[in-house]
């Protein structure tokens, strides 16, 4: 957790740590959140401002800058607004946990006497979906921003964990649903009718015999197919398919649930699905 505080005392400026206690990056944290997620929202109402579209730069410079920012609006303008408070807290969820985005409506932050839920439109609300707004969720970036001063102080001071203020941050339980995509690649492996019609299995070779090496028996192949596997009615069975890269390196192995016979008079196509 990082603490948001825009007071101007010298210890609030960034030095090295990103955590509380001892974190001195709090001004930078707040300014970064403001630039990324709140710049286009009117300070008084929290509603999103209209973009400046005139070719004549006659209005205030604050209007001109509006087109320069993408504040990742997570809901319709009619149902949501955003205001960044002077003091708050932010939880940054690692991307390897939430994937492409956090699923709207899945966020719950709970602690001692505190219960915040996500209303599916980028707002953290107190107690229920109809509760008061206490912060925002940026689904695409995994940011959980608490804008209520009293709640932020609970997380900041450590009072929820029974510790003195500024000794340790309060504990919280955060649950959410991420979206981790699985990509499926389909490969068609074609086997012509003249390919793989014989087997090199040592047990199918004439004159193969066993020999002992270091106390273990091994089958020594002769390289000559036995008579019973050279007839026109004999078909090898395929049990495994290997996928190779352009350097002829084996990168994936697929096995059939049960071996399939290799036809000698028609082409065979094997479809391999690889999930990554």
Computed over every residue of the chain, the mean pLDDT equals 75
Least confident of 54-58, 123-127, 249-253: 54-58
Residues 104, 129: contact at Cβ < 8 Å?
A: no
Q: Where are the domains of the chain?
A: 2-175, 184-275
pLDDT digits (tens, 9 = 90+) for 211-237: 666 666 666 666 677 766 666 677 788
Q: What are the pLDDT digits (tens) for 98-123?
A: 999 999 999 999 876 788 999 998 89
More confident residue, 151 or 93: 93
Residue 65 in this model has a pLDDT that exceeds 50: no
pLDDT band (50, 70, 90) for residue 244 = very high
Mean pLDDT of 8-18: 41
């Amino acid at each position: 957790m990082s603490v948001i505080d825009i007071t101007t005392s010298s210890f609030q400026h960034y030095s090295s740590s990103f955590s509380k206690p001892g974190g001195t990056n709090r001004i930078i944290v707040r300014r970064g959140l403001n630039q990324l997620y709140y710049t286009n929202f009117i300070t008084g109402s929290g509603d999103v401002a209209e973009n400046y579209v005139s070719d004549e730069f006659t209005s205030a410079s604050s209007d001109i800058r509006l087109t320069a920012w993408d504040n990742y609006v997570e809901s319709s303008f009619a149902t949501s607004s955003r205001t960044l408070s002077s003091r708050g807290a932010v939880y940054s969820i690692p991307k390897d946990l939430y994937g492409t985005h956090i699923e709207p409506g899945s966020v719950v932050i709970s602690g001692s006497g505190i219960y915040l839920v996500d209303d599916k439109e980028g707002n953290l609300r107190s107690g229920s979906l109809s509760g008061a707004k206490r912060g925002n969720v940026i689904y695409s970036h995994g940011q959980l921003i608490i804008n209520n001063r009293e709640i932020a102080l609970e997380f900041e001071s450590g009072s929820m964990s029974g510790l003195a203020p500024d000794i340790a941050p309060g504990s919280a339980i955060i649950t959410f649903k991420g979206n981790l995509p699985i990509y499926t690649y389909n490969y068609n492996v074609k086997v012509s009718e003249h390919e793989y019609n014989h087997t090199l299995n040592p047990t199918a070779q004439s004159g193969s015999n066993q020999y002992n090496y270091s106390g273990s028996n091994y089958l020594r192949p002769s390289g000559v197919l036995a008579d019973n596997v050279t007839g026109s009615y004999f078909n090898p069975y395929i049990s495994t398919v290997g996928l190779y890269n352009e350097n002829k390196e084996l990168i994936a192995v697929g096995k059939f649930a049960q071996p399939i016979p290799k036809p000698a008079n028609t082409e065979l196509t094997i479809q391999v699905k690889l999930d990554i």
